[in-house]
Amino acid sequence: MTDQHTPLKSRVDQVLAAFVTAEAEALADIDAALAPVGDQLHTATRHGKRLRAAFCYWGWRGAGQPDSDALVRAAAAIELVHAAAVVHDDLIDGSSTRHGRPTVHTALHQSSADGADAPARALAMLVGDLLMAMAGQLFTDSGVPGAFLNRARPLWTVLARELIAGECLEIMSTGRAPDPEASVKVIRYKTAKYTVEHPLQIGGLLAGAPPRLLRAYSDYGLPLGEAFQLRDDLLGLFGDPARTGKDPADDVSGNRPTVLMAHALASATPAERDELEDLLGREGLTDQQVQRVRDIVRGTGAVTRVEHMITARQREAHDALADADLTGEARRALTVLAADATVRTH
């Protein structure tokens, strides 16, 4: 993450810490037994690059609006949507770690008196639901004038709908025959839109941006969001777990329909495909088995194809930004954010 983004990230972190603390205390006031749930609100929101808030902020500034603490609060609300999505995603995938720490359902399981798994999973689902509700509350109570908020409310609804649609599509695609186009559609709706395109447009709508600028935000944001997730898929299998905080076996054991794996399966030899299909979805993979998956995937040329997809989308986003009628400061910031989103190691 660049030094330019650090001050904004710190402001977003402060907003979220204060807001989540108040919500956790309100839960504990209802009953002290709810303290572990409140603790997991902190866990789910404590870490993150805050890219979504940054895109919302610069969508606002790109339309000519000045810096605003109220806007930072509204932008921070999108990070709560992301936190909710992560809690639900980890629950669906059965992931045990996130950023090198126990996921919410894992932590709740570890802290339960009887060690029962089902209640912990149910509580984690409710933590995710609460985070989504909190996002709407923070957005509404951000201090941005009501007339401005009304411009963005319809898109806020679309953001939630399309995020859930993408998650549903991933679940329904898991274990099916490889289809790179279907896998791209999953990442478009599950990640790309709510990571870049929609935050930018929400910032622009709050600022009263004209339709031409909103279209430019979409032309920049959608390919960049897809490039972001394509990079994430590569890092998920090939990245350093110490930096990504993610077990490289997760995507393999979960048999997730990533674009990377779809291309690998489509290009593998019959013997390689049989071997991959035997390993995909298997629990308790050894380091040697994960390395074998890496070797096959790389050998099929899938890594190179995904890198080319990332490069093409980076170029598309760059061209859209070059043609956009926005402030010079925002153009520079969005250029840097594009690099932060796609040229990264974690």
CATH of the domain at 49: 1.10.600.10
Longest dimension (CA), the chain: 61
**String of DSSP letters for 247-301:** -TTHHHHTT---HHHHHHHHHS-HHHHHHHHHHTT-SS--HHHHHHHHHHHHHTT
Q: How far is the first Cα of the chain from the last one, in angstroms, to the nearest whole number? A: 10
The SS3 of residue 102 is: strand
Pull the structure tokens for residue 174. 């898991």
177 domain residue, yes or no:
yes
pLDDT tens-digit map of 263-288: 999 999 999 999 999 999 888 899 99
- Domain region containing 248: 6-342
Phi and psi at residue 186, in whole multiples of 5°?
A: -60, -50
Half-sphere exposure of 187 (CA within 13 A, CB side): 24
pLDDT score of 1 more than 80: no
Closest CA to 139 of 48, 51, 72, 62: 72
> Which residues sit opposite 98 in a β-bridge?
101
pLDDT score of 156 more than 90: yes
| Domain total of the chain | 1
Give this prediction's pTM: 0.94
215 domain residue, yes or no:
yes
Half-sphere exposure of 83 (CA within 13 A, CB side): 33
Q: State the DSSP code for 49.
A: -
143 domain residue, yes or no:
yes
Q: What's the rounded Cα separation, in Å, for the pair 40 and 46?
A: 10
Question: What per-residue confidence (pLDDT) applies to 109?
Answer: 85
pLDDT tens-digit map of 183-236: 999 999 999 999 999 999 999 999 999 999 999 999 999 999 999 999 999 999
- Residue 289, Cβ density class (10 Å: 0-12 exposed, 13-18 middle, ≥19 buried): middle
pLDDT tens-digit map of 43-83: 999 989 999 999 999 999 999 999 999 999 999 999 999 99
Cβ count near 143 (within 10 Å): 12
Q: What's the rounded Cα separation, in Å, for the pair 30 and 21?
A: 15
1 domain residue, yes or no:
no
144 domain residue, yes or no:
yes
Question: What per-residue confidence (pLDDT) applies to 161?
Answer: 96
Q: What's the rounded Cα separation, in Å, for the pair 87 and 124?
A: 7
290 domain residue, yes or no:
yes
134 domain residue, yes or no:
yes
pLDDT score of 4 more than 80: no
- With pLDDT > 70 as the criterion, what percentage of the chain qualifies? 97
Question: What per-residue confidence (pLDDT) applies to 100?
Answer: 72
Tell me the torsion sign for CA atoms 284, 290, 292, 297. Answer: positive
273 domain residue, yes or no:
yes
pLDDT score of 110 more than 90: no
Q: What average pLDDT does range 8-34 have in this prediction?
A: 97
